[in-house]
């Protein structure tokens, strides 16, 4: 039976969306009306999401880590200093972009792109530390019952809308078998609402990913599209 991993799936979703944001920001035609504001808002939304994610980890995971493996918890706390500085710089660059004069937009766009990539650089190091230091420490010093309780507490704190957003962010970045296992568990938890929930949760998947998911679940795609939430 696979080990309970509190970080893996959500981190895969974060990496995918950070890389996509960086690629699309770098290639964006910033001269179009509203484009600067759109790119700025995307960056601000990302830093807000990452801050909220850190708060969730601190509330539901890292208290246990501090109790069982304080040195690993201290290492994560040190990482937050670099992350906070990178987030602040990115936010400042993003907020200034929409008001930038047209002739200065190309350089401002690139400055925002560099700030975003600094966030990505710092964040990747943070994820690596959580996955290779914090999670192994929890495997060593906490049992499956405690790790299950962490997951249950987090899931219980999410509204249905927030849980749906979590799925949409995560599912496209996961391999088919993992995606199917998560989707199966979600739809089985709400008898009578399976069709609408599956349709809503898979809106961020590509056509090929959706088709593979329905095949793995053993249901026709039409079934998943019968009811919209």
Considering the domain architecture, whether residues 125 and 171 belong to the same structural domain is answered as no
Distance from CA of residue 214 to its chain's centroid? 23
- Mean pLDDT for the stretch of residues 87-111: 96
Residue 88 domain-assigned (yes or no) = yes
Residues 124 and 54 in one domain: yes
- Out of 137, 152, 167, a domain closes at 152
Same structural domain for residues 25 and 88? yes
3 inside domain: no
- What is the per-residue pLDDT across 172-228, written as a single tens digit (0 to 9) for each? 999 999 999 999 998 888 777 777 888 899 999 999 999 899 899 887 655 545 444
Q: Would you state the structure tokens that stand for residue 32, as one six-digit string?
A: 């179009």
User: Does the pTM exceed 0.75?
Assistant: yes
Inter-residue contact 51 to 116 (CB < 8 Å): no
104 and 215 part of one domain: no
CATH number, domain of 34, equals 1.20.120
Residue 2 reports pLDDT greater than 90: no
Q: Rg for the chain (alpha carbons), in Å? A: 20
- Return all residues near 108 (Cβ < 8 A) that are at least 6 apart: 93, 96, 97, 100
Last residue of a domain, one of 152, 179, 200: 152
**Do 18 and 39 share a domain, yes or no?**
yes
Task: Give the count of domains, the chain.
Answer: 2
pLDDT digits (tens, 9 = 90+) for 153-179: 999 999 999 999 999 999 999 999 999
Cα–Cα distance measured from residue 139 to residue 135, given in angstroms and rounded to the nearest whole number = 6
**pLDDT tens track for 126-158:** 999 999 999 999 999 999 999 999 999 999 999
Of 123, 152, 181, the one marking the end of a domain is 152
Is 16 within a domain? yes
In the chain, what is the straight-line distance between the N-terminal and C-terminal CA atoms, in Å? 34
Please check whether residue 51 lies inside any domain of the structure: yes
Range of the domain at 115: 8-152
What single string gives the DSSP state of each residue in 89-122?
HHHHHHHHGGGS-GGGHHHHHHHHHHHHHHHHHH
How would DSSP label each residue in 164-199? Answer: HHHHHHHGGGS-HHHHHHHHHHHHHTSTT-HHHHHH
């Amino acid at each position: 039976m696979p080990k309970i991993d509190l970080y893996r799936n959500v981190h895969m979703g974060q990496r995918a969306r950070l890389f996509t944001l960086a690629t699309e920001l770098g290639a964006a035609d910033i001269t179009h009306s509203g484009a600067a504001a759109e790119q700025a808002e995307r960056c601000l939304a990302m830093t807000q999401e990452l801050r909220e994610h850190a708060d969730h980890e601190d509330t539901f995971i890292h208290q246990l880590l501090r109790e069982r493996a304080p040195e690993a918890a201290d290492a994560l706390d040190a990482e937050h200093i670099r992350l906070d500085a990178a987030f602040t710089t990115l936010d400042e660059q993003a907020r200034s972009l929409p008001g930038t004069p047209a002739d200065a937009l190309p350089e401002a766009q690139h400055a925002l792109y560099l700030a975003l990539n600094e966030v990505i650089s710092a964040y990747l190091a943070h994820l690596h530390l959580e996955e290779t230091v914090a999670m192994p420490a929890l495997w060593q010093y906490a049992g499956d019952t405690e790790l299950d309780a962490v997951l249950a507490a987090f899931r219980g704190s999410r509204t249905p809308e927030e849980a749906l957003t979590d799925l949409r962010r995560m599912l496209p970045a996961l391999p088919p078998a993992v995606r199917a296992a998560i989707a199966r568990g979600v739809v089985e938890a709400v008898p009578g609402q399976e069709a609408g929930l599956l349709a809503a949760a898979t809106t961020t998947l590509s056509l090929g990913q959706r088709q593979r998911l329905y095949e793995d679940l053993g249901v026709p795609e039409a079934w998943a599209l019968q009811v919209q939430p």
